[in-house]
């Protein structure tokens, strides 16, 4: 496990799994001059949070694809089966995601749309101020994440075919409240939480991936998993893990199988060693389709429930109806 404070030190990039989130995550520091400028332009960056709550599924993200700066938010109310969505774009360079995200402030503001992140060693404050539109009612509120109660981070720096990837994922207890239209949701840190997903990756011009994540509170912290398949290189780390209260245990060789039979649509998700052996049942999904001249994004995030078995090094969890997400991405950029 890498313990360095920076992804790049003395001009050399660290590859592998980090024990903790580095203070400086700027992979392009390994390059200078014209090469550095090219790497900076090709590096796609985003920072988002998946919120797990008793009454809803929700997610928010700020994305810098360099040719396009965008942000999205959605909330699906489980009882009422209603989906509210908001999104906005800004000119390239209008918002910059910092190298040290965990000690920073980020604001994405457009007409009728504002999402803010404020992060320090004590807490993370996620603020929402979204105007009423045809796709969603007025949204306001603040979600507070407790840094001291966070689970072990999943931090991976790895080579990809014609590129590279850096990701940082952490589970935080969540409190605060969000108002969507005339309904207010209160978050309880004993049962509600958010999963950070930070990326700074030089992706190939054409790339695909399938990814999923979920977690649940257990004695001593959280159990859960993060799992993905994408084009990769032999011997390189994958961005997959089993979360336990003590560690983000490495996981590899994951497969997703879409099941077509007479039962409701579902996916089977499992690792070759069967430490991950799950079925995902989607309830709904959010789609993003953007077609530009030289770039395109076709993205679907499904929200639903996971059931099955999760095997950590020192414990086994039998899951039934645990909230989570699963997404497919096909990108040309």
Tens of pLDDT, residue by residue, the chain (333 residues): 999 999 999 999 999 999 999 999 999 999 999 999 999 999 999 999 999 999 999 999 999 999 889 999 999 999 999 999 999 999 999 999 999 999 999 999 999 999 999 999 999 999 999 999 999 999 999 999 999 999 999 999 999 999 999 999 999 999 999 999 999 999 999 999 999 999 999 999 899 999 999 999 999 999 999 999 999 999 999 999 999 999 999 999 999 999 987 777 899 999 999 999 999 999 998 887 777 767 777 888 999 999 999 999 999 999 999 999 999 998 887
Q: Count Cβ atoms below 10 Å from residue 159 Cβ, excluding itself.
A: 16
69 occurs within a structural domain: yes
**Beta carbons of 38 and 184 less than 8 angstroms apart:** no
Sign of the C-alpha dihedral computed for residues 233, 239, 243 and 247 taken in this order? positive
Question: What integer best gives the mean pLDDT of the chain?
Answer: 95
Domain count across the chain = 1
d(CA 8, CA 100): 13
**Beta carbons of 196 and 242 less than 8 angstroms apart:** no
**Beta carbons of 165 and 156 less than 8 angstroms apart:** yes
**Beta carbons of 198 and 168 less than 8 angstroms apart:** yes
For 273-317, the DSSP string reads TSSEEEEEEEEEEEEEEEE-SS-EEEEEEEEEEEEEEEE-SS-EE
Host domain of residue 223: 49-332
195 occurs within a structural domain: yes
Sign of the C-alpha dihedral computed for residues 305, 53, 102 and 42 taken in this order? positive
Give the residue from 270, 211, 268, 275 showing the smallest Cα distance to 243. Answer: 275
Give the residue from 256, 254, 229 showing the smallest Cα distance to 242. Answer: 254
d(CA 192, CA 50): 11
**Beta carbons of 145 and 172 less than 8 angstroms apart:** yes
**Beta carbons of 251 and 260 less than 8 angstroms apart:** no
Please give the pLDDT value at position 293. 67
Taking the model in full, what pTM does it have? 0.95
d(CA 179, CA 127): 11
143-172 confidence digits (pLDDT tens): 999 999 999 999 999 999 999 999 999 999
Three-class SS of residue 256? strand
Q: Count Cβ atoms below 10 Å from residue 81 Cβ, excluding itself.
A: 9
**Beta carbons of 155 and 22 less than 8 angstroms apart:** yes
Three-class SS of residue 60? strand
CA 329 from chain center: how many Å? 13
Strand partners, 196: 49, 170
31 occurs within a structural domain: no
Give the residue from 5, 8, 22, 294 showing the smallest Cα distance to 164. Answer: 8
């Amino acid at each position: 496990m890498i313990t360095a404070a920076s992804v790049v030190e003395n001009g050399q990039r660290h590859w592998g799994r980090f024990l903790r989130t580095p203070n400086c995550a700027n992979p392009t520091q390994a390059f200078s001059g014209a090469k550095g400028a090219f790497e900076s332009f090709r590096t796609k960056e985003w920072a988002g949070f998946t919120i797990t709550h008793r009454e809803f599924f929700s997610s928010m993200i700020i994305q810098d694809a360099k040719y396009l700066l965008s942000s999205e938010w959605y909330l699906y109310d489980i009882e009422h089966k209603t989906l509210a969505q908001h999104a906005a774009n800004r000119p390239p360079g209008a918002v910059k995601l910092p190298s040290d995200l965990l000690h920073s402030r980020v604001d994405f503001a457009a007409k009728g749309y504002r999402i803010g992140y404020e992060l320090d060693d004590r807490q993370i404050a996620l603020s929402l101020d979204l105007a009423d539109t045809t796709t969603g009612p007025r949204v306001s509120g603040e979600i507070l994440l407790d840094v001291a109660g966070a689970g072990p981070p999943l931090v991976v720096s790895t080579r990809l075919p014609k590129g590279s990837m850096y990701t940082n994922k952490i589970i935080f207890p969540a409190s605060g409240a969000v108002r969507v239209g005339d309904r207010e949701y209160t978050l309880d840190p004993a049962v509600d939480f958010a999963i950070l997903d930070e990326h700074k990756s030089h992706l190939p011009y054409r790339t695909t991936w399938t990814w999923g994540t979920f977690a649940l509170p257990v004695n001593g912290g959280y159990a859960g998993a993060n799992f993905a398949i994408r084009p990769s290189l032999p011997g390189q780390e994958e961005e997959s893990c089993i979360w336990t209260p003590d560690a983000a245990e490495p996981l590899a060789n994951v497969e997703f199988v879409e099941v077509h039979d007479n039962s409701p649509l579902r996916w089977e998700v499992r690792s070759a060693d069967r430490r991950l052996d799950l079925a995902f049942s989607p309830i709904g999904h959010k789609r993003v389709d953007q077609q530009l001249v030289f770039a395109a994004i076709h993205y679907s995030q499904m929200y639903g429930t996971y059931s099955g078995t999760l095997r950590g090094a020192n414990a086994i969890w039998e899951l039934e109806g645990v909230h989570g997400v699963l997404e497919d991405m096909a990108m040309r950029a």
